[in-house]
Amino acid sequence: MAARAIQRVLNSPLLRREAYVGGLWTTSKDRQTFDVRNPSNRETICSVPDMTSEDVAMAIEKAYDVRKDWGGLLAKERCGIVRRWYEKVVEKHEELAYILTAEQGKPLNEARVEVSYAASFIEWFSEEGKRTFGDTIPTHAHNKRLMTIKQPVGVTALITPWNFPLAMITRKAAAALAAGCPVVVKPAEDTPLSALALANLAEEAGFPSGVYNTVTCSKDRVDSVGRELALSDKVAALSFTGSTVVGKLLMNLCSGSVKRISLELGGNAPFIVFDNADVEMAVSGAVAAKFRNTGQTCVSPNRFYVQEGIHDEFCRRLKESIECLIVNDGFADGAQQGPLINESAIEKVRRHVDDAVQKGAHVLCGAVPGPLGGSFYLPTLLTNVNSTMVMTSEETFGPIVGVAKFKTEEEAVAAANQTRYGLSGYIYSQSPSQIWRIAEALECGIVGVNEGLLSTEFAPFGGYKESGLGREGSKYGIEEYLEIKYICMGNV
């Protein structure tokens, strides 16, 4: 099954082995390439261009040359092309899902969900792009009239992660394009094929040359390529999803040209279950939130706090649910948990579990490699977790649940906020007043109340504290790519 699926990917017309710059499919100037691997078995799928900073400068130049034309189109014209991109993505739904599973590893059904999720952002912003209204402002002087209009910021660099290789591009790119900004997309080195497939569909949708560009590069060149995008004064805005460490670095680099910057960085989400919670709801929410994409999600709960009265029952039922999860190659029938993305992801998971166990955590299930070895790790449940353990301060990004018991609401809130991160948090409670108290007290940008799956194009996605800057999706997401211009008409 897996071998046939990979063959299907290799035969797909959407599988591109070149980068897309200025409306042309291109190699890197020095013709270097790097291998894209299947995380399930580390076998090479194919190679793509390992572009240099000069190649990227060229892509920026192409985007810069067309920024006035693209920004000058009527919103209806621009959004019509964005809408065609959406239709192409929907048309090629299954092809995209196969490419995604091949290079990212997530189970095919989950890949299908991601394609729909990715498409939803394109559809959303093809509509929002027509609604970038300005204001008329009450005047402060009889002979003056005040108003605002919104204008595209200009060329936008988008640096995207490997965990949602389609959706994290479309959430940024569709907003930027609809706002009138040409884009240079730099996908993660683990997952360039999904990005190139999206570029292929963007070309078919009819974006004018230079408006949509995708540059690929290996880990060895990511530093110089990232610098080029962040330092170029032809790039007006940069949006990044990835680690907080890299986000801070990019923020520093962008300060030189005072670029607009949007950052969607790491999380360390608390998942709080109170004694009065519906335990079944809490368990199914925990599984849905934690094991989405095998735990490799920024909004994945990373610290579970469960009140003492419900603790044992919650853990017993959670263990039963976790043990039912099917771990397998993403193309295998019924697979629910795929491989982790690469060796360093597995190393991190092992380090977190070993550290917790050494410091007194109890293993209820898992804590060993998966049946296929390599990048697979069994879904794991640990109890007796405490704040001295690395897994409570670092984001694990893997299929590990670590539960700590608490007594009082105050104790839970203090523990939940005891972090420099603030992307998301989860509360399970049946008390409306408690829900409001905790939802308001949590220092994070997204709160799930009796719900484990929160992401949608309709709602703003983004974090407090070191989890980022700005919001993606929703009516707010397009603002990241717009300037507000105030116009004062005098002598009226």
Rounded to whole angstroms, the Cα distance separating 247 from 17 reads: 28
Query: Per CB under 6 A, does 297 bind ligand SIN?
Result: yes
Choose between 279 and 454: whose C-beta lies nearer to ligand SIN. 454
Q: How far is the CB of 126 from ligand SIN (least distance, A)?
A: 19
- Catalytic annotation present for 264: yes
Q: How far is the CB of 349 from ligand SIN (least distance, A)?
A: 16
Choose between 203 and 264: whose C-beta lies nearer to ligand SIN. 264
The whole-angstrom distance between residue 160's C-alpha and the CA centroid of its chain comes to 7
> Which residue from 21, 96, 10, 1 is spatially nearest to 47, judged by alpha carbons?
10
Pairing of strands 362-365, 424-428: unpaired
The piece of 232-240, 292-300, 400-408, 440-448 that touches ligand SIN (CB under 6 A) is 292-300
The piece of 220-228, 295-303, 353-361, 366-374 that touches ligand SIN (CB under 6 A) is 295-303
Q: Mask: binding to ligand SIN, 11-50, rule CB under 6 A, as x and -?
A: ----------------------------------------
Q: How far is the CB of 213 from ligand SIN (least distance, A)?
A: 22
Residue with CB nearest ligand SIN? 455
Q: By three-state DSSP, how is residue 158 classified?
A: strand
Contact 231, 239 (CB under 8 A): no
Among 217, 254, 298, 315, the active-site one is: 298
Encoding tokens for residue 17? 């082995």
Choose between 16 and 292: whose C-beta lies nearer to ligand SIN. 292
Choose between 63 and 175: whose C-beta lies nearer to ligand SIN. 175
Residues numbered 426 to 455 that lie near ligand SIN (CB under 6 A) are 455
DSSP string, 428-448: E-S-HHHHHHHHHHS-SSEEE
Q: Mask: binding to ligand SIN, 226-265, rule CB under 6 A, as x and -?
A: ---------------x----------------------x-
Q: How far is the CB of 166 from ligand SIN (least distance, A)?
A: 11
Q: How many residues at the interface with ligand SIN, by CB under 6 A?
A: 9
Choose between 15 and 446: whose C-beta lies nearer to ligand SIN. 446
Q: Is 25 exposed, middle or buried (0-12, 13-18, 19+ CB in 10 A)?
A: middle
Q: In what order do the strands lie in the sheet with 446-449?
A: 362-365, 380-383, 400-406, 301-307, 269-273, 424-428, 446-449
Contact 478, 132 (CB under 8 A): yes
Choose between 26 and 337: whose C-beta lies nearer to ligand SIN. 337
Q: How far is the CB of 472 from ligand SIN (least distance, A)?
A: 8
Q: How far is the CB of 453 from ligand SIN (least distance, A)?
A: 8
Q: How far is the CB of 264 from ligand SIN (least distance, A)?
A: 6
Encoding tokens for residue 143? 């002979």
Residue type, position 196, single letter = L
Residue that the structure tokens 């995708």 belong to: 214
DSSP annotation of 247 reads: H
Q: How far is the CB of 165 from ligand SIN (least distance, A)?
A: 11
The piece of 49-57, 135-143, 231-239, 291-299 that touches ligand SIN (CB under 6 A) is 291-299
Choose between 52 and 297: whose C-beta lies nearer to ligand SIN. 297
DSSP annotation of 472 reads: B
Give the chain's end-to-end CA distance (angstroms, integer). Answer: 73
Residues numbered 159 to 218 that lie near ligand SIN (CB under 6 A) are 163-164
Residue type, position 478, single letter = I
Rounded to whole angstroms, the Cα distance separating 187 from 190 reads: 8
Residue type, position 17, single letter = R
Sign of CA dihedral 188, 117, 333, 452: positive
Choose between 80 and 460: whose C-beta lies nearer to ligand SIN. 460
Quick one: which of 36, 89, 298, 412 contacts ligand SIN (CB under 6 A)? 298
Q: By three-state DSSP, how is residue 56 classified?
A: helix
DSSP annotation of 207 reads: P
Rounded to whole angstroms, the Cα distance separating 442 from 425 reads: 7
Among 264, 395, 466, 479, the active-site one is: 264
Radius of gyration over every alpha carbon of the chain, rounded to an integer in angstroms: 23
- Catalytic annotation present for 298: yes
Q: Which residues would be at the binding site for ligand SIN (CB under 6 A)?
A: 163-164, 241, 264, 297-299, 455, 461
Q: Which residues are catalytic?
A: 264, 298
